Structure 1
Amino acid sequence: MNRRILIVDDEREIAELIEIYLKNEGYETEIAGDGEQALELFEQKPFDLVVLDIMMPRMDGLEVCRRLRRDQSVPILMVSAKAEDMDKIMGLMTGADDYMIKPFNPLELLARVRSLIRRSYQFSPPLNAGSKREELTLGALAIDKASHTASVNGKPLNLTSTEFGILYLLASHSGRVFSAEEIFQHVWKEKYFESNNTVMVHISKLRDKLEQELGDKMIITVWGVGYKIEA
């Protein structure tokens, strides 16, 4: 099955360069020149991943991300010339799964795309021998690895693939504390860089979604160590 990727960027040359690299990898692609066109395309057909620029006319990438996240869990790779930490945090808090700074190496972008697709559609976090379970139940929370879904009292949780990966990792090792570095390496399967705040932002979003439905705190921060879920 060829994955379909939507490239959203008002700089046509950049969009076409990305398209060339993705097509060479066997992906199907379409290009949208602004946010409004991107949403129109999404109404017409499904996509498996979005490469989304932030600074665009008519509707910027942050607003596109917000609207997609209302009812879509599609992986979103945000790209931007904005390189400050707060810009990255804003992009991730809006709902992006990953964030790249322009100018970027196209080969790195390909690696990020492959990683996102693997996490989203072929998810299999490493577990200790004997602890692998397809379905988990922690109180009102139910997690189904096979369908990549989670629910509270039967009500589905709208999680991104990254949020699901973190939730499954912590829930399948209830009581164990994972450092940000360990979470990153397990879920992203990439090398962790010091001062990387990506995990913190995704934990914050996941915690908010769980607390909204459960009414209490499930993900516990162990200061100076990491994060855990208590059954």
Structure 2
Amino acid sequence: MTHKILFVEDDAELAQLMQGFLARHDLEVVIEPRGDTAQAALRREQPDLLLLDIMLPGKDGLTLCRELRPEFAGPIVILTSLDSDINQILGLELGANDYVLKTTPPAVLAARLRAQLRQYEQRQGNGSETEGEQQLAFGQLRIDARSREVMLGGERITLSTTDFDLLWQLASHAGEVQDRDTLLRVMRGLSYDGLDRSIDIAVSRLRKKLGDDPAAPARIKTVRNKGYLFSPAGW
């Protein structure tokens, strides 16, 4: 099955090289060279995955990620030459599913893109589960996987696709420790290498949105050297 990728990249040579390479992996790439025309291209092309450079004419990739995330449910991957923890954290905070450096071997990039697409398709396939398996409730917290809606104390909590998947994984295994390898596979389709901080960043972001005390979390607890535990009694 061929998937369509919208690649927002102003380096024409790099974009064309990537387009040719990914085509051999059943990934059709549509190139858009400007950030300020990316939204129109997204609506026109209806891609399965959005691949964004950061440094773009017209509008930067981080701004695009923030603006397009609410209307695009598929994976967003940032591909950049900026090897910066701050940019990586910001990209993930804004809703990107992955942050990849341009120095990454093309074969590895293709594998990561395909992993993101598989994870998204698996999430979409969850609609075949029973209604009971699609809804979770803990005190004032309600999570609906079918509508991907989270309510806390009667207030709707807005979460990115990645954050919702992380919360669902933790909540559907309430009372069980989830290690970083399991959580990273759910979020990004990758194994934990001992260095990746995206899980910790995402958990910190979830705690903030769900009103958990970062100094003494009672809802999503850290289990030292093991991972994280969703407490069913904390809501």
TM-score when normalising by structure 1: 0.80
Deviations 1:194-221 (A, max 9, x none): 2211111222333344449xxxx77423
Structure 1 match to 2:29: 29
| Contact in 2 for aligned 1:9/1:15 (Cα 8 Å) | yes
- Partner in structure 1 of residue 205 of structure 2: 205
Q: Give the distance between the partners of 2:218 and 2:66, measured in 1 at CA.
A: 25
SS at match of 1:74: coil
2:83 maps to 83
Match of 2:55 in 1: 55
Using the TM superposition, give the Cα deviation of residue 157 of structure 1 relative to its aligned residue in structure 2, in angstroms: 5.1
Q: Which amino acid aligns with 2:196?
A: N
- Give the Å deviation of 1:155: 7.1
What SS does structure 1 have at the residue aligned with 2:52? strand
Which letter does structure 2 place at the counterpart of 1:50?
Answer: L
Per mean C-alpha deviation after superposition, the further-off stretch among 95-104 and 149-158 is 149-158
Aligned CA distance change for structure 1 residues 97 and 218 (closer, same or farther; 3 Å): farther
**Aligned AA (1:11):** D
Instruction: Return the offset for 1:96.
Output: 1.0
- 1:43 is matched with 43
Q: Deviations over 1:109-168 (max 9, x none)?
A: 1111111111112139xxxxxxx93432334444444x4723317876544332232112
Counterparts of 2:33 and 2:169, CA distance in 1: 37
Summarize the Cα distance change of 1:186–1:72 in structure 2 as closer, same or farther, 3 Å threshold. closer
Q: Percent identity?
A: 32
Q: After TM superposition, give the deviation of residue 187 of structure 1 in Å.
A: 4.2
CA shift, 1:173, in A, is: 1.0
Partner of 2:230: 229
1:168 aligned partner: 168
The SS at the match of 1:122 is helix
The CA deviation at 1:79 is 1.0
Alpha-carbon distance between aligned partners in 1 of 2:37 and 2:218, rounded to the nearest angstrom: 39
User: Match of 2:168, as an amino acid?
Assistant: Y
Q: Which runs of 5+ in 2 are unaligned?
A: 125-131
C-alpha distance in 1 between matches for 2:181 and 2:15: 32
Change in CA separation of 1:77 and 1:116 when aligned onto 2, cut-off 3 Å: same
Tell me the CA shift for residue 7 of structure 1. 0.4
Shift in CA distance, 218/110, structure 1 to aligned 2, threshold 3 Å: farther
Unaligned runs of 5+ in 1: 125-131
For residue 56 of structure 1, report the CA deviation from its aligned partner: 1.5
Distance 1:31 1:195, change over 3 A: same
Q: Give the 5 Å matches for 1:74-153.
A: 74-123=74-123, 133-145=133-145, 147=146, 149-152=148-151
8 Å CA contact retained: 1:120, 1:162: no
**C-alpha contact (below 8 Å) 1:148/1:164 kept by paired residues:** no
2:207 corresponds to which letter in structure 1? R
Cα 1:152/1:218, change in 2 over 3 Å: farther
> What is the aligned length?
219
Q: TM-score normalized by structure 2?
A: 0.79
C-alpha spacing 1:228/1:18, structure 2 compared with 1 (3 Å): same
Segments ≥4 residues shifted beyond 6 Å: 153-156
Show the counterpart of 1:129.
none
Q: Secondary structure at the match of 1:133?
A: helix
The 8 Å contact of residues 77 and 98 in structure 2, kept in 1 or not, is answered as yes
Distance 1:109 1:137, change over 3 A: same
Deviates more, 1:28-37 or 1:219-228: 219-228
Once the two structures are overlaid, the 10-residue window that deviates more, 57-66 or 15-24, is 15-24
Code of the residue aligned with 1:54 in structure 2: it is: I
